[in-house]
Amino acid sequence: MAEGRNFDLEIITPDRVFYQGQASMIEFNTTEGEMGVLYDHEPVVTLLGYKDVVYTQGGQKKKATALGGFAEITKDRVTILTDASELADEIDLERAKKAKEREEAKKKAEEEEARIAAEKKAREEAV
């Protein structure tokens, strides 16, 4: 049984190797749902969702962010490639708030642009 056995874990971003070491379990969100991995897992490659990655190291759970990407799982290794990753206590709340506001403004502008294009198309079809 795999319980109690460790596997190699790497969490890699474009800027740095966020984590490289041993873990006994990892849980993360994929585009298909949540997934938990122990040693001796069936090999798979999956797309990551935008949610936390929780890994157990030395009996302690550590929570990090993951902004999409891929996870490659083999019997004794999990490699996560993600756009960004930070431990919860590393997150700059003010920076995160500003980033959220920028994304919301961008989404609102895109929605307005789509609405205007739809209205223009409807007017052209009515003529």
Q: Quick one: pLDDT band at residue 88, thresholds 50, 70, 90? A: low
Q: What is the pLDDT of residue 1?
A: 42
- Class at the top of the CATH hierarchy for domain 7-89: mainly beta
Q: Residue 35 above 90 pLDDT?
A: yes
- Domain locations in the chain as residue ranges: 7-89, 92-126
Q: Is 125 helix (H, G, I), strand (E, B) or coil?
A: helix
Read off the pLDDT of each residue in 47-53 and give the average, rounded to a whole number.
87
- pLDDT tens digits, 93-105: 787 778 778 888 8
Across 37-41, 48-52, 68-72, least confident range? 48-52
Read off the pLDDT of each residue in 15-25 and give the average, rounded to a whole number.
93
SS (H, E, C) 4-57: CCCEEEEEECCCCEEEEEEECEEEEEECCEEEEECCCCCCEEEEEEEEEEEEEE
Q: Residue 14 above 50 pLDDT?
A: yes
Read off the pLDDT of each residue in 1-21 and give the average, rounded to a whole number.
85
Q: What is the pLDDT of residue 91?
A: 67
Under 8 Å between Cβ of 27 and 54: yes
67 closest CA partner among 104, 99, 24, 25: 99
Q: Residue 126 above 60 pLDDT?
A: yes
